[in-house]
């Protein structure tokens, strides 16, 4: 879809009240869930730092066993030692780089062999780049890491969640999806026909994730399993650490100067993964623990079908039926 078509399609759907609600929610505290989660299995991607690290400690502190999927072996092993020694729960790590689709495909195959049901799956791995880079497959990196890899895994795991009849899938998404204000440029997901924008690529990837969530939610409807997305709040993370000095200075001294710690994100992820209050909520977007209306392009059913089909093709999974 071109930007002009997007403006025509979505302009009248925008509501200033939604933006006001977002700003209010950004300052809110998450609802705290105190329900134990002993001997439940939680899988987290990108758990060696920031939000994923805080979430791993939160779930383990409540008795959960963990499978952490990270790209760094040393950091992963250190995390698992911490979890085991601090909380006396089980922790295993799987090394996978979400920018390498072959590794993600191998992970998808391995996860189908799990003998134990996954109670909560948290997709936290992500990246923000100010310069365009490509993966080994020739795809734009931000789109692959923030959307396509989690899409591939979810496509494979949804039938498993349906069969087991319970479980919650959570996308750590972002209010940044609003940067793609006029929808996805499905004719240029690779950012080859226009000037690259770090915020634009990030917003597009997060928008694609929200759109495909609509289809996944329909597939899970009535099964006992659910899928939802959340904005983790304005918190300090290592996102953007691979960008240049100027960006890192801006991030540390201006952008995140008054941001909060990732522990609030972890509390929100625990609530969304455990609380009975949201046990049957499916296909929704939260700002921390508050339900929120995403931007109009994120609820476009026609656009969801299109990006779902394209994502399947890019993952080598054939067409969506």
Residue range 175-230, pLDDT digits in tens: 999 999 999 999 999 999 999 999 999 999 999 999 999 999 999 999 999 999 99
**Mean pLDDT for the chain overall:** 92
What is the distance between the alpha carbons of residues 231 and 43, in angstroms, rounded to a whole number? Answer: 19
Domain-embedded: residue 194:
yes
Structural domain count, the chain = 1
261 CB-contact burial (10 Å; exposed 0-12 / middle 13-18 / buried 19+): middle
Domain-embedded: residue 320:
no
Say if CB 162 and CB 223 are below 8 A apart: yes
Q: How many angstroms separate the most distant Cα atoms in the chain? A: 57
Domain-embedded: residue 321:
no
**Alpha carbon 200 to chain centroid distance?**
17
Tens of pLDDT along 29-78? 999 999 999 999 999 999 999 999 999 999 999 999 999 999 999 999 99
Looking at residue 260, what DSSP letter applies?
A: B
Average pLDDT over residues 25-29: 86
Strands (E) in 3-64, as ranges, are 41-45
The enclosing domain of 72 has a CATH number of 3.40.50.720
pTM of the model: 0.92
Q: Which residues are catalytic?
A: 202
Distances (CA, A) of 250 to 258, 299, 309, 310: 13, 33, 38, 35
Looking at residue 39, what DSSP letter applies?
A: T
Domain-embedded: residue 29:
yes
Q: Residue 270: give the domain boundaries.
A: 3-314
Domain-embedded: residue 156:
yes
- Output the pLDDT for position 19: 81
Domain-embedded: residue 319:
no
């Amino acid at each position: 879809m071109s930007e002009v078509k997007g403006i025509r399609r979505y302009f009248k759907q925008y509501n200033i009240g939604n933006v006001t609600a977002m700003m209010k929610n950004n300052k809110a505290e998450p609802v705290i869930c105190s329900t134990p989660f002993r001997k439940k299995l939680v899988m987290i991607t990108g758990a060696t730092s920031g939000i994923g690290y805080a979430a791993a400690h939160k779930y383990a502190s409540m008795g959960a066993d963990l499978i952490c999927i990270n790209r760094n072996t040393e950091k992963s092993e250190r995390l698992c030692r911490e979890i085991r020694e601090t909380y006396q729960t089980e922790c295993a790590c799987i090394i996978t780089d979400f920018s390498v689709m072959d590794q993600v495909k191998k992970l998808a195959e391995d996860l189908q062999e799990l003998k134990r049901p996954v109670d909560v799956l948290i997709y936290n791995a992500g990246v923000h780049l100010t310069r365009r880079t490509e993966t080994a497959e020739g795809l734009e990196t931000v789109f692959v890491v923030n959307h396509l890899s989690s899409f591939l895994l979810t496509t494979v795991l949804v039938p498993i969640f349906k069969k087991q009849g319970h479980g919650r899938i959570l996308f750590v998404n972002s209010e940044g999806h609003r940067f793609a204000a006029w929808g996805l440029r499905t004719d240029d997901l690779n950012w080859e026909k226009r000037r690259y924008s770090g915020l634009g690529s990030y917003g597009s990837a997060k928008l694609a994730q929200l759109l495909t969530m609509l289809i996944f939610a329909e597939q899970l409807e009535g099964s006992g399993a659910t899928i939802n997305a959340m904005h983790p709040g304005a918190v300090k993370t290592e996102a953007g650490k691979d960008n240049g000095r100027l960006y890192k200075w801006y991030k540390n001294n201006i952008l995140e100067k008054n941001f909060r710690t990732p522990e609030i994100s972890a509390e929100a992820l625990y609530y969304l993964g455990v609380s009975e209050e949201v046990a049957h909520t499916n296909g929704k977007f939260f700002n921390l623990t508050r339900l929120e209306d995403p931007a109009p392009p994120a609820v476009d059913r026609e656009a969801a079908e299109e990006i779902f089909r394209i994502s399947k093709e890019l993952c080598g999974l054939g067409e969506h039926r």
